[in-house]
Amino acid sequence: MKWGLAMRLEKDCIGEMFISDEVLYGIHTLRAKHNFPITNQRVNPLIIESYLQIKKAAALVNQKAGTLNRKKAALIISACNELLFSKDFQAFIVPAIQGGAGTSTNMNVNEVVARLAMKISAQSGREAIKIHPNDDVNQSQSTNDTYPTAGKMAMLKAIEPLEEKINQLIHVLEQKAMVYSQAVKVGRTQLQDAVPTTFGRSFNAYAAGFKRDLRKLKAVEKQLCQVNLGGTAIGTGLNASQSYEKAIVPALSRIAGIPLTQATDLVDATQNSDAFTSLSGILKGVAVNLSKMCHDLRLLASGPQAGLGEISLPKVQAGSSIMPGKINPVIPEVVNQVAFEVIGKDLTVTMAAESGQLELNAFEPIMFKEILTSEAHLTKAVQTLIDNCLVGLQVNVDRCRDEVNHSSIAATILSPYLGYERTTALIKTSEKTNIPVKHLVENAGLLPKDLVEKLFSTEVLTNTKQVPVSGQKPLMNKRSGSVR
């Protein structure tokens, strides 16, 4: 076989096609490129990397099983190693959105590995050893067990950096909670003044939500580690030797450094996609928590003169082409948009999983594209939120304290002493006269001055500390109903 010819003729079950002799892919790949002109986005590189690890493991196991020639196995492994080491994936041209349940991706990998293996064999000047994409590279395999396995591996690889960023996010939020543990603010429900709280509690609450997300991501990893490799077409293992079926997943696990296990029911693992909907749902949950927090940040930073103005976000870019000096909360805004995207992608994954029929789900390509994009975008969104927003965030402590002092709703603390109706009357008077409730109580002599001072202290208003006062009705613990 000679290399360097301008064109070569390849055949498949459809017919013949001339292909440039300079490219590594073949007729199946080129047909896919022509058939699926939906997007310029190619199959995710993490899927390609995982597929190459699968082909390498399969060649090793097939050679040990005696079903693949030792020289061919060595060449296939060498080709996979070269591609994995160089990260040169330009020959993998199949669009991410494709029909065929991933067959085009599998064949793209088979063709590239086969042709590169033959080129490696010819480098010594001898006649190239013929490596067949299906018979050799794809031996003992099917798209239906290799594609979902590669997809799960890719998702696992993408989870790790996302988890790292969420851990960083939790750390930053907890640091803010410590710094502003005593920074009192007006708590709000339905956007209306409620009872006082602290920014420390607010930041801790955000962190708690992301801790739950992190635990859920860790849990779904176990699901994704269960693969159907060895099940071939529909999970029955047709055309794979027993030794291959037993050895392939442990071999792949060693090569990829991922704790993969073979699913106990390969038929179930081939036709059902609940592992993907589980991960997608958790990613949606992360997106929802991020978006809620970013909505809060934008609202709390609104103004700065005519809004809440309780926090100040870092100024990262000019906000207007017409209004000089205007600064917008662009980082929370972009995170919000990523969240909207992820939530929409979860619906796509749900519909694709639900639409699987009989022994195989044909719609894994769109599931993989959406999930991997969500993982990547969430990772980057969290990173920019940390670096360009949260680290430099500052609470306007004095302004917040002043709002609490002038908020009539702080009078809620008086209810156990004066009763609900009397306290309501004080609040109405305060709103009408613009005199703080605290002053109204003091001026009317409704309670001893020292008690009023203690009741309107930050610790008591935020329910972090309660000081019993001799001769007065003690405060009730609202959570337990017990007297403190």
Whether residue 450 is predicted with pLDDT greater than 90 in this model: the reply is no
pLDDT category of residue 479 using cuts at 50, 70 and 90: very low
Is residue 310's pLDDT more than 80? Answer: yes
The model's pTM: 0.91
pLDDT at residue 2 tops 70? no
- Beta carbons within 8 Å of 212's beta carbon, 6+ residues apart: none
Where residue 40 falls among pLDDT bands split at 50, 70, 90?
Answer: very high
* Banded pLDDT at 434 (limits 50, 70, 90): confident
Burial 47-85 (b: 16+ CB within 10 A, else e): bbbbbbbbbbbbbbbbbebeebeeebbbbbbbbbebbbe
Report the distance separating Cα 286 and Cα 428, nearest Å.
42
Arithmetic mean of pLDDT, 288-313? 95
Mean pLDDT along residues 282-289: 98
Angle at 442 between CA 437 and CA 447, to 5 degrees: 100
Burial 444-456 (b: 16+ CB within 10 A, else e): eeebeeebbebbb
Identify the band that residue 411 occupies on the pLDDT scale cut at 50, 70 and 90: confident
Q: Of the listed 50, 121, 181, 320, which one is catalytic?
A: 320
C-alpha span between 197 and 205 (Å, rounded): 12
CA 444, CA 429: separation in Å to the nearest integer? 12
pLDDT digits (tens, 9 = 90+) for 8-35: 988 989 999 999 989 999 999 999 999 9
pLDDT score recorded for residue 478: 43
Q: How confident is the model over 283-300, as a mean pLDDT?
A: 98
- The pLDDT of 82-94, averaged and rounded, is 97
472: pLDDT strictly greater than 80: no
294 has pLDDT over 50: yes
71 — pLDDT class (breaks 50, 70, 90): very high
Band the pLDDT of 480: cuts 50, 70, 90. Answer: very low
CA separation for the pair 168, 108 (Å, rounded):
38
**Is 320 one of the annotated active-site residues of the chain?**
yes
Q: Which domains does the chain have, with CATH numbers?
A: 7-139 (1.10.275.10), 145-229+264-397 (1.20.200.10), 406-461 (1.10.40)
pLDDT for 466 equals 62
Give the pLDDT mean for 192-206: 93
What's the pLDDT score for residue 318? 85
Q: What is the pLDDT of residues 343-367, one digit of tens each?
A: 999 999 999 999 999 999 999 999 9
Q: Compute the mean pLDDT over every residue in the chain, rounded to the nearest whole number.
A: 92
pLDDT digits (tens, 9 = 90+) for 157-183: 999 999 999 999 999 999 999 999 999
Q: Which residue has the higher pLDDT, 480 or 27?
A: 27
* pLDDT > 60? residue 339: yes
Mean pLDDT within 394-417: 87
Q: Is residue 483's pLDDT more than 50?
A: no
Alpha carbon distances (Å) from 190 to 102, 187, 193, 194, 404 = 48, 10, 8, 9, 17
Query: What is the end-to-end Cα distance of the chain in Å, rounded?
Result: 90
Say yes or no to pLDDT of 475 above 50: no
pLDDT category at 406 given cuts 50, 70, 90 is confident
Q: Is 156 exposed, middle or buried (0-12, 13-18, 19+ CB in 10 A)?
A: buried
Nearest CA among 179, 19, 256 for reference residue 115:
19
Percent of the chain with pLDDT over 70: 95
At 129-152, the pLDDT tens digits run: 999 999 999 999 999 999 999 999
Neighbours of 119 (CB within 10 A): 17
- Give the strand pairing for 16-20 and 7-11: antiparallel
Q: How confident is the model at residue 249 (pLDDT cuts 50, 70, 90)?
A: very high
User: What is the model's pLDDT at position 125?
Assistant: 73
Mean pLDDT of 214-222: 97
Rounded to the nearest 5 percent, the helix, strand and coil shares of the chain are 60, 10, 35
Number of residues assigned to the chain: 484
The pLDDT tens digits of the residues spanning 122-133 come to 987 778 899 999
Give the pLDDT mean for 475-484: 39
Question: Which pLDDT band holds residue 234 (cuts at 50, 70, 90)?
Answer: very high
